[in-house]
Structure 1
Amino acid sequence: MVDVGRDRLRELLDAVLADGESRTLEDMAGDAFVSPFHFSRLLSRQTHEPPVAMRRRVLLERAAWQLRHGSSVADAAWAAGYDSVEGFSRAYSRAFGHPPSRPAARHWLPAPNGIHFHPPISLWVDSTEHTTNPLTEQMVRHDLDDTRALLEYAKGLTDAELRAVRLPGAVVLPWDGGEETIDDVLANLVWAKEIWLASIEGRDTPQRFPGSELLDRHDAVAASWLAMVRDLDARGAWNDRLIDALCDPPESFVMSSVVAHVLTYSAHRRQLVRHMLRAAGHTIGAGDPIMWLRRHRNEETTGDDLA
């Protein structure tokens, strides 16, 4: 048998992805017989991803695959190293754009190195996967997270607060109607993604449902929207054109402009909601993507949501 020597990268990956609960950077480095600093530097240099972030991502990919094949959320959370379903649900929702109660369209997440979970217990290295520009991913995920946070907050408002006219005559886009109330603006935040996805996926114009279902509608559309944007980026298909038959007459749109359009008006509407909430006497954060990314990066580095 030919001696091919040590595969040091494989040894480092084994240390990152070894089974066991509550695995820290120190645990991983110990398995590789190096210091935590040296371990992190070696792996980051070879894979362009910190070890804690890689472990979290690959285990979330495995959890998504397990959930699609009948695992309970609690079992998937435990297997991924989380000590609570709540912590797992937060991490999963941030990664996939929807809670674990909904099946993921694809269990792979964007990776700077092409390294992914491959069922049942292996890794797969996609040599064609390019290093994603983080800007689009961050902007889309921040938009989805911030919209969900506002919808969650709105659940605690009274009907009178939601429907009080706070910006008389306000119109963001003429075809979306007036947006004078908190309820109006939140509804159009969700509706914008629903109607564009219907066009992209070739479906009929979706119905507008009552505002009480906005959070469920957001969770449903967020998964498809995030998957659509990731697919565009993975294929380099930003210059593809959509012939939108839902328009009368049909119109042609460059896909990059569609995503930019949605992000632009979503950001505007999220700040409109904040303005209205403050006018109603509520204290609400700024929704700053800098702070969102800082929290997200801190969790990736320290594993705050992990057991």
Structure 2
Amino acid sequence: MLDAVVDGDNSDVAHMARSSFTSEFHFSRQVSRSTGEPPAAIRRRVMLERAAWRLQHGDGVAVVAAEEGWSSPEVFSRAFRRSYGVPPSRACDVEFRLAAPNGLHFHPPQSLWVDSANRVDGASPPDVSHLMLAHDVADTAHLIGTAGELTEDQWAEPVSPGQVILDWDGEEPSVGAVLDAIVWAKEVWLASIEGRDQPDRPRLRPAARLADDHAAVAARWTAMVSRHAEQGRLGDTVIDALCDPPESFQLYGIVAHVLTFSAHRRELARAMLARHGVLAGRGDPLDWMRRT
């Protein structure tokens, strides 16, 4: 609907509605309800913001007035002065953004921008680290589930013989080995953080068991990160005596390490699954956000 509002070919609400395959009444009601602003008002403000930006970048008043939909330069100049308090010739003296009840603005050169602090639904975007944690868990679960389509032989088949991601983890030549290593990394690091004994690494787990183990460790992992973040303790240091010699790791460094190599392994697993004829999508957080 917002595409229709700012489409240069839609000169009024009737045109906007037709291009969205809906009635004018329904279109106006939905846009107003979703944005807190009638579609005509949004279009007028966004066009004025774009006009101001173009003037600031050297376009002439007559050209901008004609191309942004005003009937004449005089009508455009009056509208500009009412909104900005200065004539178009002084566009460089003002910020091109106008006050908006929904934080919706023109964004150069041809896009829209919505300020998160002004979202009509009151929601705020997640912290990027929380987003990456959630996506890592969801994408790993997706890959393990997708790999469940493989036969037992395909799960363990060394399609990438000699493949080593981290020296201390050994070879990961199969889809199962790579996905198992993602889960194992969280299990090992959680043991260090929670003060547990170093777990014994299991043999290659079948997909069904790995899915269950992943669900369990993912819940503990995300809870641990969230708890320490809320307490302001992600800068705490673990001195791991299980290493020889002992090593020091700050919690936020551990989280970054786990996420980095999990992402690497997930993409390897995708490529390896494709060699078995199984497609698992791109693993793009943007795609995941759209679906969820």
> Which band: TM-score by shorter chain?
0.5 to 0.7
Greater relative contact order structure (CA < 8 Å, 6+ sep)? 1
Q: Which of residues 128, 134, 137 in structure 1 aligns to 2:127?
A: 134
User: Unaligned stretches of 5+ in structure 1?
Assistant: 1-33, 55-111, 113-131, 297-307
Quote the offset at 1:248 in angstroms.
2.5
Corresponding residue for residue 169 of structure 2: 176
TM-score when normalising by structure 1? 0.54
User: Unaligned stretches of 5+ in structure 2?
Assistant: 1-31, 38-100, 103-114
Quote the offset at 1:283 in angstroms.
2.2
Corresponding residue for residue 205 of structure 2: 211
Q: Distance in 2 between matches of 1:223 and 1:48?
A: 32
Secondary structure of the equivalent of 1:227?
Answer: helix
1:215-245 deviation line (CA, Å, top 9, x unaligned): 1110000011111111222222232111113
Are the counterparts in 2 of residues 162 and 182 from structure 1 also a CA contact under 8 Å?
Answer: yes
Corresponding residue for residue 85 of structure 2: none
Q: Distance in 2 between matches of 1:36 and 1:284?
A: 34
1:289 aligns with 2:291: no
Are the counterparts in 2 of residues 148 and 215 from structure 1 also a CA contact under 8 Å?
Answer: yes
1:233 aligns with 2:226: no
1:195 aligns with 2:188: yes
* Correspondence list, 1:23-172, <5 A: 37-38=35-36, 51=121, 134-172=127-165
Q: Distance in 2 between matches of 1:281 and 1:295?
A: 24
Counterparts in 2 of 1:193 and 1:155: CA distance versus 1, 3 Å: same
Q: Distance in 1 between matches of 2:226 and 2:161?
A: 38
Quote the offset at 1:38 in angstroms.
4.3
1:241-283 deviation line (CA, Å, top 9, x unaligned): 1111322232110111101100010000001111111112222
Counterparts in 2 of 1:49 and 1:191: CA distance versus 1, 3 Å: farther
1:244 partner letter: D
1:233 partner letter: A
Q: Distance in 1 between matches of 2:277 and 2:262?
A: 23
Q: Which of residues 209, 216, 220 in structure 2 aligns to 1:220?
A: 216
Q: Distance in 2 between matches of 1:49 and 1:233?
A: 25
Counterparts in 2 of 1:136 and 1:160: CA distance versus 1, 3 Å: same
Quote the offset at 1:133 in angstroms.
6.3
Counterparts in 2 of 1:191 and 1:50: CA distance versus 1, 3 Å: farther
Secondary structure of the equivalent of 2:256?
Answer: helix
Corresponding residue for residue 73 of structure 2: none
Percent pairwise identity: 45
1:257 aligns with 2:253: yes
1:185-206 deviation line (CA, Å, top 9, x unaligned): 0110100000000000000112
Q: Distance in 2 between matches of 1:170 and 1:249?
A: 27
Counterparts in 2 of 1:216 and 1:48: CA distance versus 1, 3 Å: farther
Q: Distance in 1 between matches of 2:283 and 2:36?
A: 36
Q: Decide which structure has the larger Cα Rg and report it.
A: 2
Q: Distance in 2 between matches of 1:48 and 1:240?
A: 35
Q: Distance in 2 between matches of 1:180 and 1:283?
A: 19
Secondary structure of the equivalent of 2:239?
Answer: strand
Quote the offset at 1:36 in angstroms.
6.0
Secondary structure of the equivalent of 1:211?
Answer: coil
Q: Distance in 2 between matches of 1:186 and 1:48?
A: 41
